[in-house]
Amino acid sequence: MMEEGSGGGRSNYNHMNDAKNERRVGLIYDQRMCKHRTPYGDDHPEKPDRITVIWNKLELAGIPQRCVILNAKEAKDEYICAVHSKNHVNLIRNISSKEYSKRNRIASKLNSIYLNEGSSESAYLAAGSVIEVAEKVAKGELNSAFAIVRPPGHHAEYDEAMGFCLFNNIAIAASFLLDQRPELGINKILIVDWDVHHGNGTQKTFWSDPRVLFFSVHRHEFGRFYPANFDGFYTMVGEGPGAGYNINVPWENGRCGDADYLAVWDHVLVPVAKEFNPDIILVSAGFDAAVGDPLGGCRLTPHGYSVLLKKLMDFAQGRIVLALEGGYNLDSLANSALACMEVLLEDKPISELSEAYPFESTWRVIQAVRQMLSAYWPTLADKLPTKLTDQKAPPHILLSSSESDDEDDDASKIISKDLVQAIADVVEPILNLKIEDYHDEVNSALWRSKLSKTDIWYAGFGSNMWKSRFLCYIEGGQVIGMKKLCSGSVDRNPPKETRWKTFPHRLFFGRDFTQTWGPGGVAFLDPRSNSEDKAYMCLYKITLEQFNDVLLQENVPDHDMNSPLFDLNALDSILNEGSIPVEAVKRGWYHNVVYLGMEDDIPILTMTCPLSAMESFKSGEIPLCAPSKDYADTLVRGLVEGKQLSEEEATTYIQVASTKPL
């Protein structure tokens, strides 16, 4: 018999294989996972329709009748806790029973997450369903399987839900096979993440684990595409025993299609997979790189997905588990999922792709990835022949957003080959002149990747004591009273933690006008300590990369950031020297970085004027000036919301600081 359960209220299927040699393919779908939806009924890309359209498409094609239909099961806490913290598991387990308003407050503090009364059950079913199909494939009861699940999982980290993901379904299943079922003989797992976004949570889970080869191909754009950091850059290869077992292929641009993905498969993934020789393959099967996806902006076709999957079936005796991740164009999502199921069932021969060529940027990324990983995988050591890499698509012509996202194949939108070539003849020489821009982008990405791994405490003593104001430097924007917007940091993740401390330094107000606040003085801190002084400071735990962006915005926002303003060497030096003026932004008023001590073995840094400016303030060469009401109110808000002082005490604190002589 082919059924093992009902697809969450769907019909049972009780059919024998039409052919004895047909592969046994598992399928899980459960309507209970549709209960996770936005609390207000608002439209959202990650909506219940995503899984229902897949199931309906498969039913119309007669796919479920040929599959083993499995029951969705909730994952056990012990299996989830192998990947997530106990606090996180408790949060997701209990979130649906919390009051409506409390749920929304929790969701508002998370990155791209909504929660409702059905979220807990859906999250547990999604994780449990992927475990269920992975175990049956590992046992040999199934050849392969597809878990049609939501919410997705690959962004979820150890202690944080993010990017529509609550539990990391694929990481939980991989951990289960490796650590909970050793008798199955699964010692090496290849995880392929073809979702258009980087699988940051999965990467971090197996960062040091050589049993898991994690491969992610994703739109990155030098850290500008979600999740908007450098975890997905090609230099992130793992560490310790896991070094070389983490492979990132970061697209520099959107509109990558079948030819681009196939080139990565042929020249990175397939050669490494041959060497690695996995026992099973788990696919984070996001379909948001598909044609027409509103979030992805890439151009993979259903046929493209089928070719990529077919190439994977040459490994691990075809033991493959697909777990749904993203995919937000419902038609493309359903068509791509059907194409993949037809491959798992070995319906028909899969022809190679047409004579399309990858972008020039694709070859550039592939060669950078191969060079980076060649020390770990000798099969990547050879340089690709020029004859191959010269086969490239015309330059990437960016149309208006409405044009570039419209993937309809209307004849009126087809550009003739002659016109494309004419455009290429004009644009190609210009692009060749811009090669130094690419090197600048790479240099920027490299230092950002490196500094993103080091945390510091940034101590705010002025308007940055109010968290909402400080977040303008991280997320961009402005608060009440500000006259101009902040650009924000490249990494827009909020501070990991916030604390308050007092320090023996003098707070005072100087200058008489700023572009950000208009007329009035702004806060400065005497870089020298004095036991008779006391300054309140709000400490934000951020990365050294983010600190560089804050330092830039506080001083000279238009400065080129191809290299860091304050690097790891400077961090080492400041521990002994106490303060370091940053010459690159010396035109700014806050270019003197001051070391204030340690908190949990993490250095506390602030930025203020240099000692030379202190003498100018004292002499009157630079004016001392009381703050404007808008600016002073910002400091008061910070002190009051931070529960350091009452409103009256905070007002007095600022008044004393603005009137007491230096």
Q: How large is the average pLDDT for residues 566-579?
A: 95
Residue 459 and residue 331 in one domain: no
As a whole number of angstroms, the distance between CA 107 and CA 16 comes to 46
**Buried/exposed 611-644: b ≥16 CB within 10 Å, e otherwise:** eebbeebeeeebebbbbbebbbbbbbbbbbebeb
Kindly state whether residue 123 falls inside one of the protein's structural domains.
yes
User: In this predicted structure, what is the pLDDT of residue 398?
Assistant: 40
CATH assignment at residue 203 = 3.40.800.20
User: Could you tell me which residue, 356 or 520, shows the higher pLDDT?
Assistant: 520
- Annotation says 396 is catalytic: no
How is the chain split among helix, strand and coil, in percent rounded to 5?
Answer: 40, 15, 40
Tell me, yes or no, whether 376 and 456 share the same domain: no
Task: Average the pLDDT over each of 66-75, 339-348, 403-412 and give the range with the smallest value.
Answer: 403-412
Is pLDDT of 164 > 70?
yes
3 state SS of 170: helix
Dump pLDDT digits (tens) for 452-467. 999 999 999 999 999 9
Specify the residue for token string 């996001």. Answer: 286
**Statement to judge: residues 345 and 448 lie in one domain:** no
Q: What was the pLDDT predicted at 107?
A: 92
Q: Averaged over 428-432, what is the pLDDT?
A: 45
pLDDT at 353: 64
Q: Among residues 325, 355, 390, which one ends one of the domains?
A: 390
pLDDT > 90 fraction of the chain, expressed in percent and rounded: 77
Q: Which of 84, 88, 154, 155 is catalytic?
A: 155
Specify the pLDDT at position 427.
45
Tell me, what's the pLDDT at 13?
39
Q: Residue 355: is its pLDDT beyond 90? A: no
Q: What is the mean pLDDT of residues 277-306?
A: 97
Q: Which residue has the higher pLDDT, 293 or 438?
A: 293
Residue 475: per-residue pLDDT: 87
Residue 504 and residue 585 in one domain = yes
Averaged over 579-585, what is the pLDDT? Answer: 94
Round to whole Å and give the CA distance between 260 and 392: 9
Q: 83 and 217 in one domain?
A: yes
Nearest to 491 by CA among 166, 231, 157, 168: 231
CB 461 within 8 A of CB 525: yes
Instruction: Report pLDDT for 298.
Output: 96
278 and 146, same domain (yes or no): yes
Residues β-bridged to residue 486? 477
Burial class (CB in 10 A: 0-12, 13-18, 19+), 651: middle
Q: Choose from 13-22, 98-107, 110-119 the range with maximum mean pLDDT.
A: 110-119
Higher pLDDT, 478 or 547: 547
Of 390, 423, 457, which residue is a domain's last? Answer: 390
299 and 226, same structural domain? yes
Give CA–CA dist 163/200, Å, rounded: 10
What pLDDT is attached to residue 487?
84
Residue that the structure tokens 């989830």 belong to = 80
Does residue 289 share a domain with residue 173?
yes
Q: Is the pTM of this model over 0.85?
A: no
| Averaged pLDDT score across all residues of the chain | 89
pLDDT value of residue 224: 87
Q: How far apart are CA 402 and CA 399, in angstroms?
A: 8
The pLDDT of residue 637: 96
Asked whether residue 9 is assigned to any structural domain, the reply reads no
In a domain, 155, yes or no: yes
Give percent above pLDDT 70 in the chain.
89
For residue 437, is pLDDT > 60? Answer: no
**4 occurs within a structural domain:** no
pLDDT average, residue stretch 398-403: 34
Enter the tokens of residue 150.
């939501």
Cβ-based neighbours of 90, under 8 Å, separated by 6 or more: none
Report pLDDT digits (tens) over 370-398: 999 999 999 999 999 998 988 888 654 44
pLDDT tier at 557, thresholds 50, 70, 90: confident
Whether residue 413 lies inside any domain: the answer is no
Q: What is the pLDDT of residues 490-508, one digit of tens each?
A: 888 899 999 999 999 999 9
Q: What angle do CA 524, 530, 533 make, to 5 degrees?
A: 65
For residue 440, what pLDDT band results from cuts at 50, 70 and 90? low
Strands of the sheet with 497-503, listed across from one edge = 497-503, 535-543, 455-460, 602-608, 592-599, 579-581
Find all residues with CB under 8 Å of 352, minimum gap 6, and list them: 307
Burial class (CB in 10 A: 0-12, 13-18, 19+), 109: exposed
C-alpha–C-alpha distance, residues 521 and 624, integer Å:
7
Q: Pick the last residue of a domain from 390, 412, 428.
A: 390
Single out the residue of 252, 214, 211 nearest to residue 233, CA to CA.
252
SS (H, E, C) 302-343: HHHHHHHHHHHCCCHHHCEEEEECCCCCHHHHHHHHHHHHHH
Q: What pLDDT score does 431 carry?
A: 44
Q: Give the pLDDT score at 197.
A: 97
DSSP label of 597: E
The pLDDT tens digits for 300-310 are 999 999 999 99
pLDDT at residue 208 greater than cutoff 50 = yes
Would you list the DSSP string of 11-62?
Answer: PP-----SSTTS--EEEE--GGGGS---TT----SS-THHHHHHHHHHHHTT
Q: By residue range, what is the domain housing residue 470?
A: 443-659
Split into its structural domains, the chain has a count of 2
Tell whether 483 and 598 lie within a shared domain: yes
Instruction: Evaluate whether 544 touches 571 at the Cβ level (below 8 Å).
Output: yes
Residue 235, domain member (yes or no): yes
Whether the per-residue pLDDT at 369 is higher than 90: the answer is: yes
Amino acid 465: pLDDT: 98
Cβ proximity of 360 and 427 under 8 Å? no
Using the predicted structure, report yes or no on whether residue 125 has a pLDDT greater than 80: yes
| pLDDT for res 476 | 85
Q: Residue 93 domain-assigned?
A: yes
At 350, is the pLDDT very low, low, confident or very high (cuts 50, 70, 90)? confident
Dist CA 162 CA 157 (whole Å): 8
In a shared domain, residues 562 and 647? yes
- Let me know if residue 435 belongs to a domain: no
- Shared-domain flag, residues 456 and 596: yes
Tell me the CA end-to-end span of the chain in Å, nearest whole number.
Answer: 87
Residues 366 and 500 in one domain: no
**pLDDT for the residue numbered 417:** 46
CB 199 within 8 A of CB 193: yes
**Does the pLDDT value for residue 412 go beyond 60?**
no
In DSSP terms, which residues pair with 165 in a beta bridge?
162
